[in-house]
């Protein structure tokens, strides 16, 4: 059995500038990190005489003979695109639900592509893996997605990514260990109470971007990725730096809400206000908006107040991770 483990991500700054409609002409960038919550895919090659050649278990179950009959769009497209021809049993799991702003859809795509290649003894570089996932989602599936989620999931870690034209570059942050640790321990997610499908919100935002209505906002978000990186890399007191980082996060959240009227609502605004009242340095809704998780940056000492205010079932403490997408082969134990 083979198992892929692909991290989810938190995007701090720059979301919206990672869409080709923007960075084809203007430079885009995001600053974010992968976290210790993952999408898992298990794959077990089946014998040639299996009753059904392809079995899938996710929110539903499928058992079909032909790839074209598979309902799951990523699995069907990838198996066909990479000309997979062996019977296969696939099961998927995730630490956190999809549709919550953590890049789970792209993490699945990255993980499945990684898995199919490793099962053929092909090791893609992180760059190749990200490129393949972007191609599958944008060109084959024609999804309305940017490029940050696939890159985050492939590379892992805390970094600033820059996009312009057909290329992207990675800039790992030069941050000392004590500040990295405090940032990692200061992140807390609070669930808004509803998941969402990002396509409608992103479609509206993309339309505004192509018309030029979002030009000023996206340019400001791009600049903030540089300012935020400078804050994390500067010398001095760690907590002071994170307070300034959180303040900039608040500024970015105000700008982002102007990209589309569907990004925020009264529920989101109330959640944001409550978290700030509990002592959060900064906050933003993750992903496209409209629901999912809100990220708060708050000193670890005040995070128990978040659980008391919002309830254990809605609060999730997270940590940064550095590995990125990975695949392992589980071999059966043979008794001696």
User: What DSSP string describes 284-332?
Assistant: EE-TTSSSSEEEEE--GGGHHHHHHHH-GGGEEE--B----SEEEE-PP
For residue 105, what are the contacts with CB-CB under 8 A and spacing of at least 6?
A: 74, 98, 137, 143, 145, 149
Average pLDDT over every residue of 55-59: 95
pLDDT in tens, 81-92: 999 999 999 999
Average pLDDT over every residue of 43-55: 83
If you search the block for the tokens 């935002």, which residue do you land on? 205
Backbone angles phi, psi at 25, to 5 degrees: -115, -35
Residues 204, 290: contact at Cβ < 8 Å? no
Q: What is the DSSP letter of 101?
A: S
pLDDT in tens, 242-275: 999 999 999 999 998 888 776 778 888 899 999 9
CA 16 and chain centroid, separation: 13
Supply the pLDDT for residue 215: 85
Question: CA torsion angle for 111, 112, 118, 119 (degrees, to 10)?
Answer: 140
Helix (H, G, I), strand (E, B) or coil at 212: coil
Question: CA torsion angle for 68, 71, 77, 80 (degrees, to 10)?
Answer: -30
Supply the pLDDT for residue 35: 98
If you search the block for the tokens 């050649």, which residue do you land on? 53
Residues 82, 115: contact at Cβ < 8 Å? no
pLDDT in tens, 276-293: 999 999 999 998 666 789
pLDDT above 90 for 154: yes
Domains within the chain, CATH numbers bracketed: 2-41+97-317 (3.30.230.120)
Residues 104, 8: contact at Cβ < 8 Å? yes
* pTM score: 0.92
CA 307 and chain centroid, separation: 24
Residues 54, 65: contact at Cβ < 8 Å? yes
If you search the block for the tokens 């010398």, which residue do you land on? 235
For residue 230, what are the contacts with CB-CB under 8 A and spacing of at least 6?
A: none
pLDDT in tens, 92-151: 999 999 889 999 999 999 999 999 999 999 999 999 999 999 999 999 999 988 999 999
- Nearest by Cα to 87 from 119, 121, 56, 45: 45
Residues 205, 16: contact at Cβ < 8 Å? yes
CB atoms within 10 A of CB 309: 14
pLDDT above 70 for 199: no
Supply the pLDDT for residue 200: 56
């Amino acid at each position: 059995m083979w198992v892929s483990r692909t991290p989810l991500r938190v995007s701090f700054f720059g979301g919206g500038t990672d869409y080709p409609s923007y960075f084809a002409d203007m430079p885009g960038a995001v600053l974010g990190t992968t976290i210790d919550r993952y999408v898992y895919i298990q794959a077990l090659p089946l014998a040639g005489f299996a009753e059904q050649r392809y079995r899938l278990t996710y929110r539903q179950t499928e058992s079909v003979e032909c790839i074209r009959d598979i309902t799951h769009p990523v699995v069907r497209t990838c198996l066909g695109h990479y000309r997979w021809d062996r019977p296969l049993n696939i099961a998927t799991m995730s630490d956190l639900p999809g549709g919550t702003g953590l890049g789970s859809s792209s993490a699945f795509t990255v993980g499945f592509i990684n898995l199919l290649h490793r099962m053929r003894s092909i090791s893609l570089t992180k760059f190749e893996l990200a490129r393949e996932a972007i191609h599958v989602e944008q060109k084959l599936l024609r999804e309305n997605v940017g490029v940050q989620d696939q890159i985050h999931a492939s590379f892992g870690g805390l970094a600033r990514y820059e996009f312009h034209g057909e290329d992207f570059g990675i800039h790992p942050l030069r941050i000392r260990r004590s500040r990295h640790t405090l940032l990692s321990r200061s992140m807390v997610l609070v669930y808004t109470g509803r998941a969402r499908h990002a396509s409608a919100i992103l479609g509206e935002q993309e339309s505004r971007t192509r018309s030029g209505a979002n030009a000023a906002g996206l340019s400001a978000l791009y600049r903030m990725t540089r300012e935020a990186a400078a804050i994390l890399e500067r010398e001095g007191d760690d907590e002071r730096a994170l307070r300034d980082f959180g303040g900039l996060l608040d500024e970015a959240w105000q700008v982002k809400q102007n990209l589309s009227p569907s990004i925020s609502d009264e529920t989101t605004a109330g959640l944001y206000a409550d978290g700030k009242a509990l002592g959060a340095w900064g906050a933003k809704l993750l992903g496209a908006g409209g629901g999912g998780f809100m990220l708060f940056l708050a000193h670890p000492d005040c995070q128990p107040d978040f659980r008391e205010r919002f309830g254990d079932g809605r609060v999730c403490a997270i940590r940064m991770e550095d590995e990125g997408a990975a695949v392992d082969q589980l071999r059966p134990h043979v008794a001696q």
